[in-house]
Every structure is written in structure tokens, then in C-alpha cells.
């Protein structure tokens, strides 16, 4: 597990002394925004990305594409309403430097794009980014004809020496550590001379909903994609070479970022409404409806959005979160406050995320008095009375929101570097305290 940097800023997590009753407008999806930017940059004509998420990860993606020559103009949509980004494709070129921060989508989706550029594109990022696996993308691109210098690390920093085109064709990869390896190749596949056939040869494949999201967005942009779900071979995806259409795309709310707010309803026995929750979506966060209902709440999806209501009781859960691993931190936080044991399975890949999320969750919850043990592929959580203390976040946005969730019911929880939530959820503290404005007697612990 990455050591947590020393931060003097400690955010006192507010305690809810009553039931929440709030409507929370969640910003747009990071996953959709960054996929939309890549597809628009590779299109044959300009397009619009409406209601984009503006966060560290999406700004990094936009700046990286600009560095390679793409025009991205920020303003309002063509009808004069709402924030929108106009994406104007251009000849991709180097030399350029791409700073990825610690954004998995940027470090994995853009090397295939860089292979289509003329000239060298250097990728660098935060120290933790050097520890995150990139071998799946690097090895695949080399097999497809790209030239990449990474000093045989299979990780950042690296340089892609773009030749203006890539032959493409069939390639085998092991995407056991990240489904983003598959999505990265599929997104650029239409621009490869032969398209691409990606065959996953690993033992497991996490986060399948994110691959389905990639496929749906490719098809909406005019690409022909064959998948296992459409009658193709298991673990094989084929994208035919074609021009991509410039689209007018509206970004859905980020359902995974709704997790802490829905958790607040469950924990306080209150009610939270998330407007514009889609009736059909490929976002993993949609699974929150089923998971949190199993933990003791109830939900109603209407034309207005999703309303989730807590019943005043939190039940432990035995759940395989393999496809929705990003929800684990908040689910673990809720489980630590339940009245029975929880087992979270199928999430060994979380050890390779922004930090080792399994080790971090166990350590931080235990230091507040919890009883969390790591298993081979997940966590076993036995509820115990918790107490206040500093919850370290390891530069991980989802650990910060998990800490806030625990703080609703435990006095004295102080969240280290809550600003890390800006990675995907800008101004989380204001959204959180705004939600709690409906709770009479909401308090915060004193700052130390």
C-alpha cells in the first residue's frame, strides 16, 4: 500500500444527528466524459460533449488531447444553454508531453491515441502513477506495431513514438488487473488500419460494465463492434476500421459518485433524491440500487430521478463486487456501521487502484476501532463500536468519501486531504454539508 503523504489539512466530518432529507445533484460521469472526449477527438467532424464533468481527471484528459493538437473549446451548448465542450478534431502530432496525474483513464486510453500521432508523445504523472500497471496497453500496442520506450517497466513514465497510423489487427492481452486495457484499445480501434481484435487471455476480467460502456459509446459514434454479448467469441471484442461521427452527447450523472449520498440516507434513516438517474445505463453505480436495498433501504426510480430511503437499520451483506469494484470503499464504510457481518468478494484488483484500497480500508477502519480483515480477494467486515480519529486517504478520492460516510455516525472523524475528492467530484465538502443542511442538529467535530 502506498504510504499516505503527510497533510496538515484535516476536514472534520459532519455528524448527522437526525435523518437527512435532501436532493443532491451529482455532477457528470468521469467515465463517460473521458470516453466522450477521446471519441470526439478521433472523429471525422466536430462534436459536442454536454454537461461534462469538470474535475482533475477530465481536465487532465482535455489538456492531454489539446497537447496533441485537438481543439477543445469550453462554453455553452449549441442551443445556448448548459455547459458544453466543443471538440474539434485535428491532425494529431508531437512532440508533446501528457501529464496523467493519477488518472487511469488518461494513462491507459491515450497511448493508443498517441500511436496515431506524428511524433513523440511523452507520458508522465504523479508518483503513484508509476506503480499502476500499464503493461497490458504497452505490450498490446507493441504487438500492433507501435514503438514505445518505457525502459521495460510496463509503467510510466514512457514515450510513444507516433508514426501517424497503426496497422492494428488481432492482439492478445491479459486485462485481469484492469478492464481499461480493453477499453483503451477499443476506443482507438476504428482509426487503426485494420481495426482491432482484442482477445483477453487472463483468468479474470474486472469491471465489465465499463467495457460495455465503451462499446455502447463506440456504436453511438458509428463504429461497428462485435462483442461476446452480441454472439461473438467469449472474451473477444472486434472493432472494424471506420470513420467516427462527431456527436452531440449529454453526459449522465456519475452514479458511482452518488454512493456516499445514498449511503447517508441508509445510515440516518432518511431520504435522498438524485435527479436525472437514467432508466438504462452501463454505469457500475447503477448497482447501488440493488446493493443498498439489500443492506436495508428501499428505492424508487421515477422520471425525476432516484429516491433512496433508509429504514433505520443497516444489514450486513455478502456480495461479489467484481464488476463494480469502485463502489467498494463506500459499501465498506456502510458495512462497518451495520448490525451484522459483511463479506465483500471478487475485488483483488483494487490493490492496484489509486492506492491498495483493500489494505487502506482495513487499516483506516480498524484504527477507528473496527474489525476488518483482508481476504484473498476482498474484505471481511465485523461491525464494532467506532470512535473518532484521523482517516488517512492516500490521495484516493473514494477513501475520502468513505471516511465522510463513517463520520455521519461517528463523532470526531477527521478526513485527511478531503480535497483529493476533486479528482472526480468537485467541491464534495460543499455538496456534503449542503445535504446535511436538512438535518437539525448536524454537527462537526472540532478541528485539531
Burial environment of residue 83 by CB neighbours within 10 A (0 to 12, 13 to 18, 19 or more):
middle
Q: How far apart are CA 281 and CA 17, in angstroms?
A: 34
Going by C-beta distance under 8 Å and a sequence separation of 6 or more, which residues neighbour residue 5?
Answer: 395, 417
Q: If phi over 0 gives left and psi between -120 and 50 gives alpha, with beta otherwise, what is residue 151?
A: left
Going by C-beta distance under 8 Å and a sequence separation of 6 or more, which residues neighbour residue 35?
Answer: 105, 109, 183, 187, 213, 214, 217
Q: How far apart are CA 160 and CA 381, in angstroms?
A: 44
> 347, 322 in Cβ contact below 8 A?
yes
Positions marked catalytic? 326
Q: How far apart are CA 238 and CA 380, in angstroms?
A: 39
Q: Which residue has the cell 454505469?
A: 283
Going by C-beta distance under 8 Å and a sequence separation of 6 or more, which residues neighbour residue 410?
Answer: 15, 337, 368, 386, 387, 388
Output the CA–CA distances (angstroms, integers) from residue 326 to 283, 316, 345, 346, 347, in the order listed. Answer: 11, 19, 13, 12, 9
Amino acid at each position: 500500500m502506498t504510504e499516505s503523504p503527510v497533510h496538515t489539512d484535516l476536514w472534520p466530518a459532519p455528524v448527522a444527528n437526525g435523518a437527512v432529507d435532501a436532493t443532491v445533484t451529482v455532477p457528470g460521469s468521469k467515465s463517460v466524459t473521458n470516453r466522450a472526449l477521446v471519441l470526439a477527438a478521433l472523429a471525422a467532424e466536430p462534436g459536442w460533449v454536454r454537461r461534462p464533468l469538470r474535475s482533475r481527471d477530465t481536465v487532465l484528459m482535455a489538456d492531454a488531447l489539446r497537447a496533441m493538437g485537438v481543439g477543445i473549446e469550453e462554453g455553452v451548448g449549441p442551443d445556448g444553454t448548459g455547459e458544453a465542450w466543443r471538440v474539434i478534431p485535428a491532425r494529431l502530432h508531437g512532440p508533446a508531453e501528457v501529464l496523467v496525474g493519477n488518472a487511469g483513464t488518461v494513462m491507459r486510453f491515450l497511448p493508443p491515441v498517441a500511436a496515431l500521432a506524428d511524433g513523440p508523445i511523452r507520458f508522465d504523472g504523479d508518483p503513484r502513477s508509476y506503480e499502476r500497471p500499464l503493461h497490458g496497453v504497452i505490450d498490446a500496442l507493441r504487438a500492433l506495431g507501435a514503438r514505445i520506450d518505457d525502459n521495460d517497466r510496463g509503467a510510466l513514465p514512457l514515450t510513444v513514438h507516433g508514426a501517424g497510423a497503426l496497422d492494428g489487427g488481432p492482439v492478445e492481452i491479459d486485462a485481469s488487473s484492469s478492464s481499461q486495457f480493453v477499453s483503451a484499445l477499443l476506443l482507438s480501434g476504428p482509426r487503426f488500419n485494420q481495426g482491432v481484435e482484442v482477445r483477453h487471455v487472463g483468468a479474470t476480467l474486472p469491471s465489465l460494465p465499463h467495457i460495455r460502456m465503451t462499446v455502447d459509446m463506440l456504436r453511438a459514434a458509428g463504429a461497428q463492434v462485435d462483442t461476446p454479448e452480441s454472439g461473438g467469441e467469449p472474451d473477444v471484442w472486434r472493432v472494424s476500421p471506420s470513420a467516427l461521427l462527431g456527436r452531440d452527447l449529454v453526459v449522465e450523472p456519475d452514479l458511482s459518485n452518488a454512493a456516499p449520498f445514498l449511503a447517508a440516507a441508509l445510515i440516518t434513516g432518511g431520504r435522498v433524491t438524485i435527479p436525472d438517474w437514467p432508466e438504462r445505463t452501463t454505469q457500475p453505480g447503477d448497482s447501488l440500487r440493488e446493493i443498498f436495498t439489500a443492506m436495508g433501504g428501499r428505492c424508487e426510480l421515477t422520471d425525476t430521478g432516484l429516491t433512496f430511503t433508509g429504514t433505520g437499520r443497516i444489514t450486513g451483506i455478502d456480495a461479489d463486487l467484481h464488476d463494480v469494484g469502485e463502489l467498494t470503499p463506500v459499501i465498506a464504510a456502510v458495512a462497518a456501521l451495520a448490525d451484522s457481518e459483511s463479506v465483500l468478494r471478487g475485488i483483488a484488483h483494487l490493490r492496484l487502484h489509486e492506492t491498495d484500497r483493500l489494505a487502506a480500508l482495513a487499516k483506516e477502519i480498524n484504527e477507528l476501532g473496527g474489525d476488518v480483515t483482508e481476504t484473498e480477494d476482498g474484505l471481511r467486515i465485523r461491525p464494532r463500536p467506532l470512535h473518532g480519529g484521523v482517516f488517512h486517504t492516500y490521495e484516493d478520492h473514494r477513501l475520502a468519501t468513505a471516511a465522510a460516510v463513517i463520520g455521519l455516525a461517528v463523532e470526531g472523524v477527521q478526513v485527511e486531504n478531503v480535497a483529493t475528492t476533486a479528482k472526480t467530484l468537485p467541491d464534495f465538502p460543499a455538496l456534503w454539508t449542503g445535504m446535511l443542511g436538512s438535518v437539525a442538529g448536524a454537527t462537526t467535530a472540532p478541528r485539531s
